[in-house]
Structure 1
Amino acid sequence: MTSISSQVILHPAVSQSIKLGSTTLGRDKLYRAVQYFSRFLAWFLLSRGHKEQAAKWNALKSHLALGRKLMRIGKPVEHLQAVLRAVQAYSASETREQITTIGRQLAYFGYLTYDTIVWANAVKFITLKPDTAQKINKTSNRFWLAGILLSITHGLLKAGRLANEAKKLRSKSSEKDIGTEADRELKQRTLELARSGTRQQFIIDILDVWVPAANLGLVNLNDGILGIFGFITSVIALRQQWHVAGKK
Structure 2
Amino acid sequence: MATGMASQIILHPIASHTLKLWSTTLGRDKTYRTIQYFSRFLAWYLIRQGDKGNAVKWNALKSALGTGRKMMRLGKPLEHLQAALRATTGTGPMGEQITTIGRQLGYAGYLAYDSIIWANSVNFVKLSKQTKERLEKISNRFWLAGILFNLAHALLKAARLANEVKKLRSPRGGERKGDDAERNAKYHSLQTARAALRYQFVIDSLDVWLPATNLGFVHLDDGILGFTGTVTSLMALRTQWQLVAK
Instruction: Tell me the TM-score normalised to structure 2 length.
Output: 0.96
- Residue 175 to residue 197, structure 1, CA distance change in 2 (3 Å): farther
3-state secondary structure, aligned to 1:101 = helix
Counterpart in the other structure of 1:218: 217
Match of 1:150 in 2: 149
Confirm or deny that 1:42 pairs with 2:43.
yes
Name the CA distance, whole Å, in 2 between partners of 1:178 and 1:162: 24
The corresponding residue for 1:227 is 226
The residue type equivalent to 1:197 in the other structure is A
Task: State the secondary structure of the residue aligned to 2:89.
Answer: helix
2:158 partner amino acid: A
Cα distance in 2 between the residues matched to 1:229 and 1:174: 50
Question: Paired residue for 1:208?
Answer: 207
Q: Amino acid of the residue matched to residue 30 of structure 1?
A: T
**Paired residue secondary structure (1:224):** helix
Matches within 5 A, 1:81-96: 81-91=82-92, 94-96=93-95
1:80 aligned partner, one-letter code: L
Alignment of 1:195 onto 2:194: yes
Structure 1 residue ranges without an equivalent (≥5)? none
Counterpart for residue 111 of structure 2: 112
CA RMSD, Structure 1 to Structure 2 (Å): 1.4
TM-aligned CA deviation for residue 90 of structure 1: 2.9
Letter in 2 for 1:83: A
Counterpart in the other structure of 1:77: 78
Query: What is the rounded CA distance, in whole Å, between the counterparts of 2:172 and 2:132 in structure 1?
Result: 59
Amino acid at match of 2:67: L
- Provide, for residues 175-223 of structure 1, a one-character-per-residue CA deviation record: whole Å limited to 9, x for no partner: 6169433212210111011101110110011000000010011100000
Distance 1:245 1:174 in 2: 42
Identity of aligned residues (%): 59
| C-alpha spacing 1:53/1:244, structure 2 compared with 1 (3 Å) | same
**Distance in 2 between residues matched to 1:174 and 1:7, nearest whole Å:** 58
Aligned mates of 2:81, 2:174 — CA distance in 1: 43
Letter of the structure 2 residue corresponding to residue 51 of structure 1:
K
Q: CA deviation at 1:8?
A: 2.1
Question: When the two structures are superposed, what TM-score results if normalisation uses the length of structure 1?
Answer: 0.95
CA distance in structure 1 between the aligned counterparts of 2:183 and 2:169, rounded to whole angstroms: 9
> Does the CA contact (< 8 Å) of 1:31 and 1:68 recur in 2?
yes
**1:174: Cα distance to partner?**
6.7
| Alignment partner, residue 28 of structure 1 | 29
Structure 2 Cα separation of the partners of residues 198 and 139 of structure 1: 28
Q: Quick check: 78-87 or 107-116, which moved more?
A: 78-87
Cα drift, residue 38 of structure 1: 0.5
Distance 1:149 1:141 in 2: 12
Provide the C-alpha distance between the structure 2 equivalents of 1:95 and 1:191, rounded to a whole number of angstroms. 20
- Stretches of structure 2 that go unaligned for 5 or more consecutive residues are none
Taking a change above 3 Å as real, the CA distance of residues 230 and 89 of structure 1, as seen in their structure-2 partners, is same
AA aligned to 1:108 is Y
Aligned partner of residue 128 in structure 1, secondary structure:
coil
Amino acid across the alignment from 1:118: I
Deviations 1:95-147 (A, max 9, x none): 00000000110111100000000000011000011101110111000000011
Rate the CA distance shift 1:66–1:173 in 2: closer, same or farther, 3 A.
farther
